[in-house]
């Protein structure tokens, strides 16, 4: 489908879904965003749903301003995936042992590494810039600096919620490795620090929603935010890269006879800020629950823990600010999912997937998410499908 414009707002809201299907609170959030005086444009993806301050599934382009809530608290959250030389025939009938090895190598939930991961010991990992990255930690917000030790131990860990590690099979029976994670607690603390600073600034006092507070260009507060933001985005990217290297090492050990090789890793943020130019104007584009889908860009759009995912290639649609959805998107809150579904529902909806099937992940049940096939169909003018993957192992925190 092409987009639909929501009328009666200062800046048109371009929606790649039927506005009538969007929850009322999310629509109001979008109207609030549209009222911001710095807004140049707003695109809404088909996985749209309620978020804090800014709506998940929104692409917000501003002139000389940026809104921390439009990035979200998990700065740099995103996806990585890689195709392997394995095929479905190489996989054992019982995948529980492989899941245990993945969980042994990569801490999940609140877990962390006892000692920070040494990237020089990982097969083929490029360590250029590693020391410089950690030296730049000394320049981040003062009240977060004391978290350095924990940040180092959490590097190469998954976290909880909707973060996952998966072994998947595509429609040609090729095996893929995939994972979803972000900047862990250090990104969250940096985000919350700067959201608090933004809310205190005089130019934000008359906003319809204080959570939409922005930083303005050429101010000390903007400079400090950009420095911490880009560091956290890099942390998230390195976090995924290290996890993928650990995941690949597990697969190498488990399938030594097959002599596994890997294609180049596909990686994309979906909670981040980028400097881009549209309509002849230099803009700060925030994607909160959206990926970049410029012409030829490879991206990843996952479903839920039982429905599969898509590798896509961007079509470069400037109307969406070269963006696409970051996943299926929730159709109900976590609390609502826990009230509606049981562990038996989870067992039935994840049949054929080696994964947790207990009360701790009921809120991640496929039934709590939108239909991924429909979400893909709604953005045919934004991306084309490269591969359709179905998970056979899913690790969650």
CB count in 10 Å sphere of residue 218: 7
CB count in 10 Å sphere of residue 227: 15
**Eight-class DSSP state of 330:** B
Kindly provide the b/e burial profile for residues 135-160, where b requires at least 16 CB atoms within 10 angstroms of the residue's own CB: eebeebeeebeebeeebbbbbbbbbb
317 appears as a binding residue in the annotation: no
Of 78, 236, 185, 165, nearest to 397 (Cα)?
A: 165
180 appears as a binding residue in the annotation: yes
193 appears as a binding residue in the annotation: no
304 appears as a binding residue in the annotation: yes
200 appears as a binding residue in the annotation: no
Residues paired with 323 in a beta bridge? 292
Given a contact cutoff of 8 angstroms between Cβ atoms, the answer to whether 381 and 301 are in contact is no
d(CA 339, CA 211): 28
- Active-site residue 326, yes or no? yes
305 appears as a binding residue in the annotation: yes
Enter the tokens of residue 350: 């994840």
327 appears as a binding residue in the annotation: yes
Task: Identify the active-site residue in 193, 194, 326, 388.
Answer: 326
Residue 325 C-beta-side C-alpha neighbours within 13 Å: 31
115 appears as a binding residue in the annotation: no
d(CA 302, CA 78): 11
Enter the tokens of residue 239: 């976090």
CB count in 10 Å sphere of residue 355: 23
Given a contact cutoff of 8 angstroms between Cβ atoms, the answer to whether 345 and 365 are in contact is yes
CA dihedral 213, 142, 128, 180 (to 10 degrees): -50
203 appears as a binding residue in the annotation: no
* Residue 149 CB contacts under 8 Å (≥ 6 apart), including other chains: none
303 appears as a binding residue in the annotation: yes
Of 180, 336, 358, nearest to 268 (Cα)?
A: 180
Helices first, then strands: H and E counts in the chain: 9, 18
32 appears as a binding residue in the annotation: no
15 appears as a binding residue in the annotation: no
d(CA 305, CA 311): 16
d(CA 188, CA 390): 30
371 appears as a binding residue in the annotation: no
Residues paired with 303 in a beta bridge? none
The annotated binding site is made up of: 74, 162-166, 180, 270-271, 302-305, 309, 326-329, 396
The annotated binding site for Mn(2+) is made up of: 74, 163, 180, 270
Catalytic residues, by residue number, are 326
The annotated binding site for GMP is made up of: 162-166, 270-271, 302-305, 309, 326-329, 396
């Amino acid at each position: 489908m092409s987009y639909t414009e929501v009328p009666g707002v200062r800046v048109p809201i371009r929606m790649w879904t039927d506005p009538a299907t969007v929850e009322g609170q999310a629509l109001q959030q979008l109207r609030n965003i549209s009222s911001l005086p710095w807004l140049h444009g707003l695109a809404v993806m088909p996985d749209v749903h309620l978020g804090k301050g800014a709506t998940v599934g929104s692409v917000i382009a501003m002139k000389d301003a940026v809104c921390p809530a439009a990035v979200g608290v998990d700065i740099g959250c995103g996806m990585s995936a890689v195709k392997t030389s394995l095929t479905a025939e190489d996989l054992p009938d019982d995948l529980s042992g492989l899941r245990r090895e993945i969980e042994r190598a990569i801490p999940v939930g609140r877990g962390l590494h006892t000692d920070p991961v040494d990237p020089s010991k990982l097969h083929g990992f490029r360590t250029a810039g590693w020391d410089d990255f950690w030296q730049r930690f000394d320049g981040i917000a003062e009240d977060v600096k004391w978290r350095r030790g924990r940040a180092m131990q959490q590097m190469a860990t998954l976290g909880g919620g909707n973060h996952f590690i998966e072994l998947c099979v595509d429609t040609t029976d090729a095996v893929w490795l995939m994972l979803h994670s972000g900047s862990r607690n250090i990104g969250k603390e940096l985000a919350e620090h700067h959201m608090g600073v933004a809310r205190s600034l005089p130019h934000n006092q008359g906003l319809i929603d204080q959570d939409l507070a922005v930083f303005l260009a050429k101010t000390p507060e903007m400079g400090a935010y950009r420095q911490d933001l880009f560091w956290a985005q890099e942390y998230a990217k390195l976090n995924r890269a290290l996890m993928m290297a650990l995941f690949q090492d597990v697969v190498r050990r488990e399938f030594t006879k097959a002599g596994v090789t890997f294609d180049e890793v596909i990686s994309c943020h979906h909670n981040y800020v980028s400097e881009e130019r549209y309509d002849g104007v230099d803009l700060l584009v925030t994607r909160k629950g959206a990926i970049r889908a410029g012409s030829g860009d490879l991206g990843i759009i996952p479903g839920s823990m039982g429905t599969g995912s898509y590798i896509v290639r961007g079509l470069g649609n400037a109307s969406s600010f070269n963006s696409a959805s970051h996943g299926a998107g929730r159709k109900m809150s976590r609390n609502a999912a826990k009230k509606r579904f049981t562990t038996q529902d989870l067992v039935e909806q994840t049949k054929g997937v080696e994964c947790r099937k207990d009360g701790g992940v009921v809120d991640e049940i496929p039934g709590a998410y939108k239909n991924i096939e429909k979400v893909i169909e709604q953005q045919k003018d934004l991306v084309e499908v490269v591969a359709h993957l179905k998970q056979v192992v899913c690790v969650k925190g």
